[in-house]
Amino acid sequence: MSDYSKALEFYEKGLRIREKAVPPNHPAIATSYNNIGGVYIVDVLSYRSLDAQYIQYMARRQIRLLKYV
């Protein structure tokens, strides 16, 4: 299990606890949703970064291979 999925698991657990403890319009509920959203944003950005790194790697590899053609 990745750190992101573990964080998401705990934030969702915290949200369920808060939903039982406070009214639905309480700021603590909004904080939980914000935390969950933050995990998704960081997770997506890290994947985009990996995609960009992979594309750069493949481009450099293609350039090296073209030297031998």
The answer to whether residues 15 and 33 touch, using CB atoms and an 8 Å cutoff, is yes
How does pLDDT run across 3-61, given as a tens digit for each residue?
888 988 999 999 999 999 999 889 898 999 988 888 888 777 776 666 666 666 666 66
Burial 18-39 (b: 16+ CB within 10 A, else e): beeeeeeeeeebeebeebbeeb
HSE-CB at 6 with a 13 A cutoff on CA atoms is 3
Q: Is the pLDDT of residue 2 over 80?
A: no
How does pLDDT run across 46-56, given as a tens digit for each residue?
766 666 666 66
